[in-house]
Amino acid sequence: MAHVAPPAGAPASGDAARKRGLVGYLLLAPAGLWLSLFFIVPMISLISTSLYDPSGSLETGYQMTGHVQNYATVLQEYDSQLLRSFLYAGLATFFCMLLGFPLAYAIAFKAGKWKNLLLVAVIAPFFTSFLIRTLAWQLILSDQGWVTQTFNALYLTDLFAALGLTEQGSLLYSPLAVVTGLTYNFLPFMVLPLYASLEKIDPRLHEAGADLYASPFTTFRKVTLPLALPGLVAGTLLTFIPAAGDFINAQLLGNTQTTMIGTVIQKLFDGGSYPEASALSVVLMVIIVVLVLFYIRRAGTEDLV
């Protein structure tokens, strides 16, 4: 990782080092055009589709009637799935933080020469397909699996069932399984930005904290945590946003009571209800944008980009 920091005294590669002129625009144009055509224009198309008259169909064509009622319909009909998506995504993000912080901290400060190898290990599980890994969780959490057997022997399944997290005597096809899968699938998106922030912290700051009679906990709270904040904010966003829109975990590890909003959108499109599906997509996007803006403002790190 030695190439990252320019050597001390190097001229700042700020605006002064940048070339002016037409070439910049020419280099930017192809990708900019592609993103505009296939990211921005589709968003506009999505919004206009969400205002079509829902009585149309693909075969007969849709009428653009400014049918704002689509939004009222989907909000009324799918409010529980929306709420559940954000609840599960929030829980998964919280658990990713809980699991990801010690791992990122251990790699940054305790791994020594094994640092790079451990970083490879963090992303290695992701070399194989998302779906295949999620299907593996079906097997791990199945009723015959050793995890369920062990939990059963410890009466933990009874506890989970009493809390309404699972069905009696099993783990799979439950809210618990869905959140476990979401946490698992998005954990590296938490660990990597956290590691990037933690790695920049000079370990001598910890010693300085100890020298000034701060307990390890106080040093952590007053020194490590504030310096790790940019990574934590980036990590929570990279975990929360995809988790809120995901439906693979809810479909493969959950039951009919754990349906998330992604499934609903997917099914509405499959069933040909394009206006409602589009309206629901817009709602999801708007809620996420509002939450993210609010969160970034609260966290006080507007210079993420």
Of 53-82, binders to other proteins (CB under 8 A) are: 58
Question: CB under 8 A: which stretch of 73-81, 150-158, 163-171, 240-248 binds other proteins?
Answer: 240-248
Among 72, 83, 131, 159, binds other proteins (CB under 8 A): 131
Token output for 198: 């933690």
Alpha carbon distance 195, 109 (integer Å): 10
In the set 48, 65, 73, 152, which binds other proteins (CB under 8 A)? Answer: 48
Residues 6+ away with beta carbon under 8 Å from 109 = 198, 203
Q: Which is nearer to other proteins, 116 or 162 (CB)?
A: 116
User: Which residue in the set 201, 227, 229, 288 belongs to the binding site for other proteins (CB under 8 A)?
Assistant: 288
Selection from 73, 53, 187 nearest residue 130 by Cα:
187
What angle, 0 to 180 degrees and rounded to 10, lies between the N-to-C axes of helices 79-105 and 274-299? 40
Residue 145 CB, shortest distance to other proteins, in Å, is 7
**Total residue count of the chain as it appears in this document:** 305
- Span interacting with other proteins, options 71-79, 126-134, 149-157, 161-169, rule CB under 8 A: 126-134
CB of 42 to other proteins, least distance (A): 4
Cα torsion 245, 251, 253, 258 to 10°: value is 70
**Which residues does 174 contact at the CB level (< 8 Å), separation at least 6?**
160, 165, 166, 167, 253, 254, 255, 258
Binding mask 153-172 for other proteins (x = CB under 8 A): --------------------
Rounded to the nearest whole angstrom, what is the least distance from the CB of residue 85 to other proteins in the complex?
10
The Cα 27–Cα 194 span in angstroms is 32
Site for other proteins contains 99 (CB under 8 A): yes
> Which of 71, 173, 184, 186 touches other proteins (CB under 8 A)?
184
With binding defined as CB under 8 A, does residue 124 bind other proteins?
yes
Nearer to other proteins, 164 or 244 (CB): 244
Please report whether residue 8 would count as binding other proteins according to CB under 8 A: no
How many residues make contact with other proteins (CB under 8 A)?
103
**Smallest gap, in angstroms, from Cβ of residue 249 to other proteins?**
12
- The token duo for 127 is 């070399």
User: Whose CA is closest to 156, among 141, 171, 146, 142?
Assistant: 171
In this chain, which of 82, 194, 248, 250 binds other proteins, going by CB under 8 A? 248
CA 152/CA 143 separation, integer angstroms: 10
Task: Tell me: does residue 18 bind other proteins (CB under 8 A).
Answer: yes
Considering the complex, state which of residue 117 and residue 162 has its C-beta at the smaller distance from other proteins: 117
Q: Is residue 161 within 8 Å of residue 188, measured between CB atoms?
A: no
Binds other proteins (CB under 8 A): choice among 24, 66, 226, 271: 24
Binding to other proteins, residues 190-229 (CB under 8 A): 210, 215-217
Half-sphere exposure in the Cβ direction for 243 (13 Å, CA): 31
Q: Minimum distance from CB of 76 to other proteins (Å)?
A: 20
* Out of 74, 82, 92, 107, the residue judged to bind other proteins by CB under 8 A: 107
Q: Which two tokens stand for residue 168?
A: 């009696």
C-alpha 278/C-alpha 269 separation (Å) is 8
